[in-house]
């Protein structure tokens, strides 16, 4: 937002996006993909393009994003990719599928985004106490002021 606080994709006003730049990026990416096997950067760009080309958050092609994360994980099997794939899987197959995928990720207790993802899925599955705990774990991680403000806002939205 105007204060630098992160805004979830679902909450963004896509009318403010630069659609000409998105279309140009899509064209450049498609040209690069025609040259041969994609590398990790091209797969990340493809994921961004799928998000950018969706008219609304609800119309995002989550199946395509999951498949792209699968390919990216084959090339770069990292916990960060696994967390992002789990979030996409939750959107495509449902929160429980995403939760189970997230629970398989090890070694991310220090990363606030991991705990924030857990919190969001717990909130969506109706576990407010679990979501509060996960947001508190996220806030205990090393993070900047804008991320802290975002997480504090999410946490306060759970309190009565």
CB 144 within 8 A of CB 121: no
Judged against a pLDDT cut of 80, whether residue 118 lies above it is answered with yes
pLDDT of residue 146: 92
**69-86 pLDDT, tens digit each:** 999 999 999 999 999 999
Distance of alpha carbon 23 from alpha carbon 45, whole angstroms: 12
Q: Report the pLDDT value the prediction gives residue 36, as an integer from 0 to 100.
A: 85
Residue 122 CA to residue 59 CA, distance in Å, equals 23
Dump pLDDT digits (tens) for 51-67. 999 999 999 999 999 99
36-45 long-range contacts, Cβ below 8 Å, gap at least 24? 38/71, 39/75, 40/72, 40/75, 40/76, 43/68, 43/71, 43/72, 43/75, 44/72
């Amino acid at each position: 937002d105007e204060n630098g606080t992160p805004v979830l994709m679902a909450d963004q006003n896509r009318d403010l996006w630069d659609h000409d730049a998105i279309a140009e990026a899509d064209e450049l990416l498609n040209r690069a993909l025609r040259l041969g096997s994609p590398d990790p950067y091209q797969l990340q760009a493809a994921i961004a393009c799928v998000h950018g080309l969706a008219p609304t958050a609800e119309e995002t092609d989550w199946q395509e994003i999951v498949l792209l994360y699968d390919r990216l994980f084959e090339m770069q099997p990292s916990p960060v990719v696994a967390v992002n794939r789990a979030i996409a899987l939750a959107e495509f197959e449902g929160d429980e599928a995403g939760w189970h995928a997230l629970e398989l990720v090890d070694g991310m207790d220090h990363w606030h985004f991991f705990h924030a993802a857990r919190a969001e899925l717990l909130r969506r599955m109706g576990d407010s106490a679990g979501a509060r705990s996960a947001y508190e774990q996220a806030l205990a991680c090393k993070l900047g002021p804008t991320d802290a403000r975002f997480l504090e806002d999410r946490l306060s939205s759970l309190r009565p």
